[in-house]
Amino acid sequence: MTKISRSSTEVIEVDPHAPDVETIEVAAEVLRDDGIVAFPTETVYGLGARASSPVAVQKVFDAKGRPATNPLILHVADLDQARRLAATWPEAAQRLAEAFWPGPLTLVVRRSERVVDEVCAGLDTVAIRMPAHPVARALVEAVGDPLAAPSANRYTEVSPTTADHVLKGLSGRIDLVVDGGATEVGVESTLVSVVGEKPTVLRPGMIDRSQLSKVVELGGLGDEERVVDESEPRHSPGLSRRHYSPGVTLRLVESKEFIRLCEDEGQRGMVLVGGLGAPIDSDAAFVEMPPEPEEYARQLYSVLHRFDGDDVDEIIVEMPPEGQRWEAIRDRLRRAAD
């Protein structure tokens, strides 16, 4: 077990596929003592706190600088734990859980009395997810209590897909980072509310609408119409536009414009992100993205973090294709561009 100390935040490395018991126990002990710990999930790194501890949950809000009005996701080890957090467990929740858990899907259900108020930001619902990542699962099991865990980044900044991304935003503000390497999925889970008559997608993710539709009949609007202004009261605060933003300006352009900019050789301080597998001959700083959405999603936040420095003035991103498989990626890019 390697321990590296950076300011007051410790880092411990762990095998993401087979986390050893002692390392997990170190992290579980911090969590039991109301500490806060960043750990890998299959989507992005989460910043975990024991969900039944208002003190620990408050530390998460403080470390992130997240408004108390924005509720957290509870991570569970099994279906029983999930059901105990819910006042009712609709048929749709059961079907979706059976189809996609453990995995990158979060379900919003009516909350039971076990859920502490601080987690839900005053809503009568709670978001629950059973992660697939062996480290996340081992941690929740070892703590023996669900873990409240938002993405491990400062509020409105880009979510972390590596331990270094976590440290960039939160070093010195949290107790521990469990470093399990880069995450697989790369963007946050699909968020589905099963509170209303038909399940609705509150935040698109890599489990897309066509996959969900094979299991349940979806209702509600497309996510584009659901994006609301920060000042409005909202069903899911994560729908606010200023989310997932890098520190530099990000501009989204259609392919034709992108190619023209590449031919112009870009300008100083400009990074061009696109190409989608068709290499473009350009002298501008250019990042070629993979043509498949799964691989694109895996790399996206790393690219944004890499160019989030002061020598870059503008990141220009080629808009990926339309279609359900790209919906989550287009969604995050649009938010980052605002």
Task: List residues binding ligand TXA (CB under 6 A).
Answer: 41, 43-44, 46, 70-73, 104, 106, 108, 120, 123, 125-127, 129, 149-151, 188-189, 191, 202, 236-238
Cα–Cα dist 238/71, whole Å: 9
**Tell me, what amino acid is at 40?**
P
Contact in structure between 261 and 272 (CB atoms under 8 Å): yes
Q: Whole-number minimum distance, CB 43 to ligand TXA, in Å?
A: 3
Query: Whose Cβ is closer to ligand TXA: residue 300's or residue 319's?
Result: 300
Residue 300: closest CA among 175, 159, 197, 190? 159
Q: How do beta strands 314-318 and 249-253 pair?
A: parallel
Given Mg ion, ligand TXA, none, residue 30, with its beta carbon under 5 to 8 Å by kind, binds none
Q: Whole-number minimum distance, CB 191 to ligand TXA, in Å?
A: 5
Cα–Cα dist 76/185, whole Å: 19
Q: Does 81 bind Mg ion (CB under 5 A)?
A: no
Query: Whose Cβ is closer to ligand TXA: residue 12's or residue 195's?
Result: 195
Query: Whose Cβ is closer to ligand TXA: residue 9's or residue 159's?
Result: 159
Q: Does 190 bind Mg ion (CB under 5 A)?
A: no
Judged by CB under 5 A, the number of residues near Mg ion is 1
Q: Does 106 bind Mg ion (CB under 5 A)?
A: no
Beta bridge mates, 86 = 111
Given Mg ion, ligand TXA, none, residue 90, with its beta carbon under 5 to 8 Å by kind, binds none
Contact in structure between 171 and 162 (CB atoms under 8 Å): no
Query: Whose Cβ is closer to Mg ion: residue 9's or residue 240's?
Result: 240
Q: Does 236 bind Mg ion (CB under 5 A)?
A: no
Query: Left if phi > 0, otherwise alpha if psi is -120 to 50, otherwise beta: which for 241?
Result: alpha
Q: Whole-number minimum distance, CB 187 to ligand TXA, in Å?
A: 8
Q: Whole-number minimum distance, CB 302 to Mg ion, in Å?
A: 16
> Could you give the C-alpha distances from 91 to 81, 96, 109, 130, 196, in angstroms and in order?
17, 9, 11, 17, 12
Cα–Cα dist 97/108, whole Å: 12
Contact in structure between 38 and 26 (CB atoms under 8 Å): no
Q: Does 43 bind Mg ion (CB under 5 A)?
A: no
Contact in structure between 110 and 195 (CB atoms under 8 Å): yes
Q: Which are the contacts of 251, defined by CB distance < 8 A and separation ≥ 6?
A: 314, 315, 316, 317, 337
Among 23, 81, 151, 236, binds Mg ion (CB under 5 A): 151
Given ligand TXA, Mg ion, none, residue 73, with its beta carbon under 5 to 8 Å by kind, binds ligand TXA
Given ligand TXA, Mg ion, none, residue 245, with its beta carbon under 5 to 8 Å by kind, binds none
- Considering only the stretches 48-56, 120-128, 151-159, 193-201, report the one whose residues sit in contact with Mg ion under the rule CB under 5 A: 151-159
Query: Whose Cβ is closer to Mg ion: residue 243's or residue 316's?
Result: 243
Closest CB to Mg ion: residue number: 151
Query: Whose Cβ is closer to Mg ion: residue 93's or residue 152's?
Result: 152
Cα–Cα dist 262/67, whole Å: 40
Which residues of the shown chain bind Mg ion in the complex (CB under 5 A)? 151
